[in-house]
Chains A and B, each alone.
Chain A
Amino acid sequence: MAEYLVLIYQDESANTDPAVQEQTMAGHIRFGEQNGAALRGGNALQPSGTATSIRGDGSGGFTITDGAFAETKEALGGYYVVEAADLDEAIAVAKEIPAPVGGVEVRPIRPM
């Protein structure tokens, strides 16, 4: 078995309708119930406007800036850690994650 990080990207500006948000939340609860055996973790994130980026300056100091590392139209909004035998299995789980205004990215977690 291997672990995959499934990153949920969404257009934050399109996500303000409370009815849609509620529906999405209900979708995540259903997803969690149906895929509990494969899930190793997961969280929703605060909007990217709350992000802080920290980068080492190479001489022991740090530069701290407001905002996410990459400014993209679709921002990272949450994640799941999924256990799966292979990529096909991970993709099958990822397809069930509600992502009405974006999509998900599946990344294998490097075994330590």
Chain B
Amino acid sequence: MDVSVEAAVADAHRREWAFVLAATVRVTGDIDLAEECVQDAYAKALSTWPTQGIPDRPAAWLTTVARRRGIDVLRRRTTHDRVLPQLAGPASGDDDDADDGLVEIADDRLRLIFTCCHPALSPEAQVALTLRLICGLTTGEVARLFLVQESTMAARLTRAKKKIAAARIPYRVPALADLPERIGAVLDVVHLVFTTGHTAPGGSDLVRTDLVAQAVYLARMLRTLLPDDADVAGLLGLIVLTHARQTTRLAADGSLSLLSEQDRSRWDAAEIAEGLALVREALQGRPPGRFALMAAIAAVHAEAPTWSSTDWSELVGLYDLLVVIWPSPVVALNRAVAIGFAEGPGAGLKVLDGLSDEPQLAAYSYLPSARADLLRRLGRTDEARAAYRRALALTDNAVERGFLQDRLVGLDGP
């Protein structure tokens, strides 16, 4: 096998999968069939590119092959098959020309994202479908990301695709009037993929770089497709600003390095510049949305040259706004932490203790660990020790456990 061809096909898979699949779904009106045809097209690329050469526009080549195959299969289908439900949308069986412009294909990709993230599908199914169909991960890869058996994930994907077909979940970008209501689900999926990767829920690694990369890819794609959307700008800003700190989150020995300890000179300056520009743009949306505010919070940290120069009262102000439009207990917890720095640990603890009955935080390790830190700073060592122990009991990630254990030992130190 020609190594350069193999690399070209792998590259086309990484870059163009969503393009090719979305353009093919448009012709087949059937996601399962389109997936099959696109897989065939990639296989055909591996067998024909070594002799025919790598085409100038691999995406167009792959789309033409996949669409032709789809049309062949549709023609051969029996009458009985033809009455099976088809995707509702602008399917056009005679449209087999792949050269009908990248803009249209880009629109197809956006259609597919909205189909995958339709609120009539469960959140788990939305994430799984997005990773499978938009990011081109195999079913086995999606299963491993979410720590379930491949057969479980296959069943979940099959069930979701059946529902898309049978209930006629449309293959369409929602009308402008419905977009604000629908874009939220898409952004939630991308954000969930990112946060799951940024701090893996379990396992030995703090970061799942594969998931983070997929989230960055999706957010960038959305930004290309919806360049004027403030929420999209906010989410991409949040992701790149968080990502800019990625390499400093672990110390040389693999232990967790807090924001206060990180070497800020190693933060990615290009990503920070990009993120700050996105935040400015996102904040122009009135009123600023959830992701714009979260990105603005990340921006305050990114702009502070040192931990001690962090503008905590600015952060408290942003959290005050965020907790109104996104009244999640986790946001309220972060707000309490910010107050603990802006006004002192006593003030922070007072706000934090108001959250102790939140059922959503009952198993959330950051509540006792934030409490432990405030108690430690107040010199209430015994209570801090108990809180660190409670946090440890709720933490599965090995790197985070190591951090909490160090803090626990540190309480007895000099």
Residues of A within 8 A of B (CB): 2, 85-88, 91, 106, 108, 110-111
Contacts and interface: CB of A to CB of B under 8 A. Distances in A.
A103 B128 CA distance: 28
Contacts of B166: 108, 110
Contacts of A106: 167
Interface string B67-87: 000000000000000010100
B160 to A, nearest CB: 13
A108 B167 contact: yes
Given A2-B85, A2-B168, A86-B172, 16 more contacts: A85-B88, A85-B168, A86-B88, A86-B169, A87-B88, A87-B118, A87-B120, A87-B167, A87-B170, A88-B172, A88-B174, A91-B120, A108-B85, A108-B166, A108-B167, A111-B83
Contacts of A91: 120
State the main secondary structure of chain B at its contact with A: loop
Contact of A108 (B89, B168, B172): B168
Interface residues of B, number: 14
State the main secondary structure of chain A at its contact with B: mixed
Contacts of B169: 86-88
Contacts, number: 33
B170 A111 contact: no
Contact of B170 (A86, A108, A110): A86
B168 A87 contact: yes
Nearest to B87: A86
A24 to B, nearest CB: 26
Contacts of B174: 88
- Of the candidates A2, A86, A91, the one having the most CB atoms from chain B within 10 angstroms of its own CB is A86
Contacts of B170: 85-88
Contacts of A2: 85, 88, 168
A91 B169 CA distance: 10
- Of the candidates B88, B118, B120, B169, the one having the most CB atoms from chain A within 10 angstroms of its own CB is B88
A109 to B, nearest CB: 10
18 contacts: A2-B85, A85-B88, A85-B168, A86-B88, A86-B169, A86-B172, A87-B120, A87-B169, A87-B170, A88-B169, A88-B170, A88-B172, A88-B174, A91-B120, A108-B85, A108-B166, A111-B83, A111-B85
